[in-house]
Structure 1
Amino acid sequence: MEAFKTVIWIVNIISALTIIVLVLLQHGKGADAGATFGSGSGSAQGVFGSAGNANFLSRATAAAATVFFATCMAMVYIYSNTNSHGLDFSDVQQSAPATSQQAPANSTTPAAPQPQK
């Protein structure tokens, strides 16, 4: 079961990094306005067709997001059905017991300010 958890963790991390890279590769909505006035080179048309790279990158991002969501849900299911949650400190031994400190007996708390009349 531990190997399965490790595989899900690795796939989750890879899909998260893939989403980050794919989102950073995509152009913003305002990037096409500059290409309209002649400043764009049009090199994306040769690689991705006349639709540009937005269709490919958006589909790849959606696929990576689906994998990321599925692995997150798998981890929730696996870790909710196990007895050990998080870190296990049951076998840690203390070097000295903790001491409790009490407040001095003559300490006073400041009184709340009285409203002026």
Structure 2
Amino acid sequence: MQEFLLIAYLIIALVLIGFIMIQQGKGADMGASFGAGASNTVFGSGGSGNFLTRTTAVLAVIFFVLSLILGNLASGSGDTESEFENLETPVQLEEVPTGTDESSDVPAGN
């Protein structure tokens, strides 16, 4: 399931990049309004703007939804044993010899 979503994610990303690169800037509409490039386009002088804009928006929504789904799947998968899981059990420390005897002449607090 995760592999299928990842492949779909990559395809959507590439198609989204393609649709963004195909779109014309805002200044390019000026020449098309006078008929300079209207006959050379598939959608006419103004028809491609709405189609490309809506398709890009739909692809962007699908891209973000797939990003959230894949992120959720990735955070839930993997090794369940983590390094922070056993924090409740204390570590047994070894006694380190200090070289002094406990029954030394250390005065007790008065």
Question: When the two structures are superposed, what TM-score results if normalisation uses the length of structure 2?
Answer: 0.63
- Which has more radius of gyration? 2
Structure 2 residue runs without a partner (length 5+): 80-110
User: In structure 2, what is the equivalent of residue 26 of structure 1?
Assistant: 23
Q: Are the counterparts in 1 of residues 13 and 63 from structure 2 also a CA contact under 8 Å?
A: yes
CA positional deviation for 1:15 = 0.6
- Amino acid in structure 2 at the alignment position of 1:83: G
Alignment RMSD: 2.2
Q: Secondary structure at the match of 1:21?
A: helix
Instruction: Give the C-alpha shift of residue 56 in structure 1.
Output: 0.3
4+ runs deviating over 6 angstroms: none
- Aligned positions of 1:48-87 closer than 5 A: 48=43, 51-84=46-79
The alpha carbon displacement at 1:48 in A equals: 2.7
1:15 and 1:64 in contact (8 A); partners too: yes
Structure 1, residues 39-71: CA drift from partner, whole Å, max 9, x if none?
x231367x4356420000011101111111111
Relative to structure 1, the CA distance from residue 44 to residue 65 in structure 2 (aligned partners, 3 Å threshold; closer, same or farther) is farther
| 1:43 correspondence with 2:39 | yes
